[in-house]
Structure 1
Amino acid sequence: MTTSPLGPDAIHWMGVDYRTIMTTESTGGSMCIVDSISAPDTGPPRHIHHGADEAFVVLTGDVEFWIEGERFVRGPGQTAFIPRGKEHTFRIVSNIPSRHLVILTPGGFEGFFADMAAGQFRIPEDMPAIEDSAKRHNLSFTGPPLGDDD
């Protein structure tokens, strides 16, 4: 088995490596920070974080964001902010993986990544189990991943 570039405590789900580098517990619930590496041409289905703001810090690669119909690309050293309650998604558009930090305030969402990695759930085959965890983490899915035709 190959070790993640994020280290031996990283978790893996659907082509993405995740490592929580600041836990909700360590901040008294204020935030969590997840270090992630996503492969080219990957990204989640459209979704809404109902109770958390989300900030991305792109370290490598290029990431196209879609926030309620607005599209833009961020590269290394750039950021994107998604306010709670806004429908959004993203996709890696570079030919290299994107390493990015995901900062959620307040914290707690890192548990969703842990649930997904533990179950190795697949989209769309395992959507009932994925949506069950999403509901516990104040997340709802609203549409397909970002594609070339959007």
Structure 2
Amino acid sequence: MAMIIRAAEGEVLGPPGGCRDRFLVDSPAWEGRLGVVEHLLAPHSIAAPMHLHTREDEFSLILEGRVWYVAAGVEHVAETGDFVYKPRGEWHTFFNAADEPARVLEIITPGGLEQAFRQIDTADGDVDLDRIVGPYGCSADYEATAPLMEKYGLAFE
């Protein structure tokens, strides 16, 4: 069945001063083949610590602003209209080091990992990220993330 998700539609979760997620395609509705989330990055926010996933590939289209990526130890800056591929098994993170907000359309295949985003976005207080993402075949590295946060003045909200 064809459908249109209007610009003002889709569940939006997460802190306004950090990375909010607008859920567009939930994988259960697509037999697990695909998940689509729009990341709304506040200025000087980081979406996730350095991490890797073993089951999914992620594709990011920059809709607005600039987004910094670190992949395989190399820093990159992607701008509006750029398309970023983050393959499974590769350590990476992304963040907004600018003074303006940024928006990223995240396509996840196969889907499922977007459910972890929903759990993180609705958690109360401190999040045990390893407990949430572990069942999805993901690992996080906080030690590798700390220098980026200090260098760019980033904060997890």
**TM bracket, shorter-chain basis:** 0.7 to 0.9
Q: Distance in 1 between the 2:11 and 2:91 partners?
A: 31
1:35 to 23, 38, 51: 38
| Contact kept? 2:20, 2:40, Cα under 8 Å | yes
Q: Alpha-carbon deviations, 1:93-130, whole Å to 9, x = none?
A: 322111111111110011111111221343xxx4xx22
Q: Which runs of 4+ in 1 moved over 2 A?
A: 5-9, 145-150
Alignment of 1:69-108 (within 5 A): 69-108=73-112
| Equivalent pairs, count | 141
CA positional deviation for 1:40:
1.4
Would the aligned equivalents of 1:55 and 1:79 in 2 still touch at CA under 8 Å? yes
Q: Contact 1:112–1:133 (CA<8 Å) still a contact in 2?
A: yes
Point out where structure 1 has 5 or more consecutive residues left out of the alignment.
none
Shift of 1:147: 3.4
CA 1:34–1:27: 2 relative to 1, 3 Å: same
Give me the whole-angstrom Cα distance separating, in 2, the residues matched to 1:36 and 1:19. Answer: 6
Per the alignment, residue 145 of structure 2 pairs with 144
Quick one: percent identity of the two aligned structures?
25
What CA distance in whole angstroms lies between the structure 2 residues aligned with 1:121 and 1:141? 19
CA RMSD, 1 decimal: 2.1
TM score, norm. by length of structure 1: 0.84
1:112-131 matches, cutoff 5 A: 112-122=116-126, 126=127, 129-131=128-130
SS at match of 2:45: coil
Q: Secondary structure at the match of 1:59?
A: strand
Higher helix proportion, which one? 2
Give ranges in structure 2 of 5+ residues lacking alignment.
1-6, 153-157
Partner AA of 2:27 in structure 1: T
Q: Residues 53 and 88 of structure 2 are in contact (CA less than 8 Å); yes or no, is this contact kept in structure 1?
A: yes
